[in-house]
Amino acid sequence: MGEEVPEYILNSSVEKLSVAYDSESAAYQTSTNFGNKMYVVKGSEYGGNSPTNVKIFDNITRSWIIPTVLGMKPIHVGGHSAVLLNKDRILIVKRDSELDDCIWFLEVDTPFVKEQKKVFGTEVVAWSKGVAGNAPKPIVISGPSGVGKGTLINKLMKEFPSTYGFSVSHTTRAPREKESDGVHYHFTDRITMEQDIRDGKFLEFASVHGNLYGTSIEAVEVVTDSRKRCILDIDVQGARSVRASSIDAIFIFICPPSFEELEKRLRARGTEVEEQIQKRLRNAKAELDEAKSHGPFDHLLVNDELEFCYDNLKKLIASDELATPLHRSTMKNSKILVSDVEFKTDKTFLHCGDKDLLLLDISSLKGGAPGRTRGINVCPVESSGGCVNGIAQL
């Protein structure tokens, strides 16, 4: 297993990490300085499985700040190490955890976090779990109500059940007759959904035709964790939010052949009362104008004859995958050496014994909070015994 540690790794300058045990609350914590602030990340108390806590100490005002914390939080009891990366995020490496759950990023000043600070008007930090290797780009499909998005997506999922997975959105609208909870949507109420939005559980959300709709982080991760390509059926506002986020996706807008045909399809579907039909048609006009002028879309596809449109959709998705470079480099100091981590052995994970080192190559990171940071290359290397404990940035 592993390779010999290259000379440059052992000779490189190493930042020793502050990992302290807080005996009062029986938990490990690290503190990482960034600008005038110190980010304190505290693991769960022993015996508990509550999520990791984050507080910020402002060195100027000499006071503690409790930030808004977005994204799914790691849970760990065995301690962790932390180091600031790229001057915008803290790499957290959990001890005593499985390899697919040991690398986490706490974003403190990424573009996403800067944007969210304006939205919330508070200090914001955002968690993102690190994932080894690449995952296929999600596909965002938008278009006016009744244009045929659902029909096209269903065909794709039926023809390629192991390739594509549907991101099941949340909505406050009532289920239609043939819709089931957890399959077509997660049906919820406004109070619960608004609280979940405040808790940072959503990648995006929007008020559409008088109801709230949103894509939870979990909905996308359930699909991508199953190694399927995620399909999102969301409105133009949602597509705009995803475009502005760190998610690297392909954006497709489906147009009707004419407004009259759209109205015909919407009425023929028979799922909406007249008032809703009128509202959806009014909104369709605005959506079509926006998509055609300055919308966030990479491609517009006309759904006239269904089979023809479906073939074009498949071609378009395939060509986008080929045209996309696998990596998008974001990090300058891109090699990280981790040496104090003991991983639980599991037949599906690489075993890294306590004398071994883990080399993380983060030169090709994709994505980020809220969600997953992908494209990490993980390479176990054997230590020659002289290495430090903690994380070294090479």
Active-site amino acid positions:
176, 269, 280
Residues 6+ apart with CB under 8 A from 386: 10
Long-range (24+ apart) CB contacts under 8 A made by 23-26 are none
* Interaction between residue 218 and ligand 5GP (CB under 6 A): no
* Interaction between residue 169 and ligand 5GP (CB under 6 A): yes
48/46 Cα distance (integer angstroms):
5
Contact stretch for ligand ADP (CB under 6 A) within 78-86, 163-171, 264-272, 363-371: 264-272
Helix and strand numbers, DSSP H then E, in the chain: 9, 24
Question: Which residue is at the shortest CB distance from ligand 5GP?
Answer: 238
Which of 134/283 has CB closer to ligand 5GP?
A: 283
* Interaction between residue 303 and ligand ADP (CB under 6 A): yes
Residue 214: name its binding partner from ligand 5GP, ligand ADP, none (Cβ under 5 to 8 Å by kind): ligand 5GP
Residues 304/117, Cβ–Cβ less than 8 Å: no
Q: Cα torsion at 376, 378, 383, 387 (round to 10°)?
A: 20
* Interaction between residue 251 and ligand 5GP (CB under 6 A): no
Which of positions 264-323 make contact with ligand 5GP (CB under 6 A)? none
Which of 271/377 has CB closer to ligand 5GP?
A: 271
Q: Minimum Å distance from CB 299 to ligand 5GP?
A: 16
Q: Give the x/- contact pattern for ligand ADP in 6-25, rule: CB under 6 A.
A: --------------------
Residues 231/141, Cβ–Cβ less than 8 Å: yes
Q: How far is CA 307 from CA 147, 251, 261, 268, in A?
A: 14, 20, 17, 19
* Interaction between residue 172 and ligand 5GP (CB under 6 A): no
Q: Give the x/- contact pattern for ligand ADP in 129-158, rule: CB under 6 A.
A: --------------x-xxxxxxx-------
Q: Minimum Å distance from CB 306 to ligand ADP?
A: 4
DSSP 366: E
DSSP conformation letters of 9-78: HHHS------EEEETTTTEEEEEEEETTEEEEEE-PPTT--PPPEEEEEETTTTEEE--EEESPPP--SS
Residue 165: name its binding partner from ligand 5GP, ligand ADP, none (Cβ under 5 to 8 Å by kind): none
* Interaction between residue 200 and ligand 5GP (CB under 6 A): no
Q: Which residues bind ligand 5GP (CB under 6 A)?
A: 142, 145, 169, 173, 204, 206, 208-209, 213-215, 233-235, 237-238
